[in-house]
Amino acid sequence: MRENDRVTSATRQPETPAAATPARLIATDLDGTLLRDDKSVSPRTIAALAAAEAAGIEVFFVTGRPARWMNVVSDHVHGHGLAICGNGAAVVNLRGGAGTHRFVKVRELARDNARDAVRLLREAAPGTVFAVEQTYGFHQEPDYPKLHMEIPDTLLPAEDLLAAGGPGADEPVLKILAYHPDLDPDAFLTLARLAIGERANVTRSSPSALLELSGPGVSKASTLALCCAERGISHEEVVAFGDMPNDVEMLTWAGQSYAMGNAHPDVLAAASGRTVANNEDGVALIIERMLAQRV
């Protein structure tokens, strides 16, 4: 199997020969994985991340969050200060703290694709409402619920938000958020993937029926693969952690991967291993064991 094939595979291969390969990079999701439910980073986890980097292992935060929500972990990427945000839509340099984040790589969702995806999803699931995430802007439809931390920059129908002359027209679209008030989250995900097809990559990370639409082929896994290739790191040298469907491709791609004790069933099936829940410092537990085995 070619390495690129592994990026989009959604099921863990039966064999995991990379288990004995020393890790060079840790890729960890944030919400429900590295962060506790109160969104804090525990002292034990902070110490484990620092110990990993002291041992020469890079740490990448790989999250669905936008760059502006990264302040909670900015102080804990001691060596390199990089994070993959927006489910792979952007690589961000976190050095310097709040307000100084810099986009290193952007993998945008073309506006034509975004408009097509909105139209198709409206037809397939009437009642869906949308928000638009850009590099620096956040816009939403008037009926989109208050699900996020900030007040939107603009309230308009998605078709107007995505028009050629719409707000933020000079900024790349990183992802579309699609919310349905009544549908089962997993059923909504399946329906949306069938309706949208190859016009966008569709996933979810929320316990509610909130979907995240990125550019075709854009995922945590594919952007992580690009970053690793730039560093000469193979997938066998990556250890990944996650808990929700937007982590599945990354966990399948990585040589070693761990589903959190609180993970979605699809994540449990995709990962090569399992750790305890996020509130029990499951990421730190595995890092501590890894470093103990290297001595």
Q: Over pLDDT 70: what percentage of the chain?
A: 87
List the beta bridge partners of residue 129.
179
Q: Phi first, then psi: what are they for 131, rounded to 5°?
A: -135, 155
- Give mean pLDDT, residues 26-44: 93
Lowest average pLDDT, out of 48-57, 108-117, 250-259, goes to 48-57
The full set of domains in the chain, from first to last, is 3-107+219-294 (3.40.50.1000), 111-214 (3.30.1240.10)
The rounded radius of gyration (Å) of the Cα atoms in the chain is: 18
Residue 18 confidence (pLDDT): 40
pTM of the model: 0.89
- Give mean pLDDT, residues 185-206: 97
pLDDT exceeds cutoff 50 at 10: no
* Per-residue pLDDT tens over the stretch 76-129: 554 456 899 999 999 998 775 555 678 899 999 999 999 999 999 999 999 999
54 to 24, 28, 116, 196, 254: CA distances (angstroms): 12, 17, 47, 44, 22
Strand 256-259 and strand 138-140: the pairing is: unpaired
Mean pLDDT of the chain: 88
Residue 2 confidence (pLDDT): 35
Which of the two residues, 13 and 93, has the higher pLDDT score?
93
In whole angstroms, what separates CA 15 from the centre of its chain?
A: 25
**What is the maximal distance between C-alpha atoms in the chain?**
58
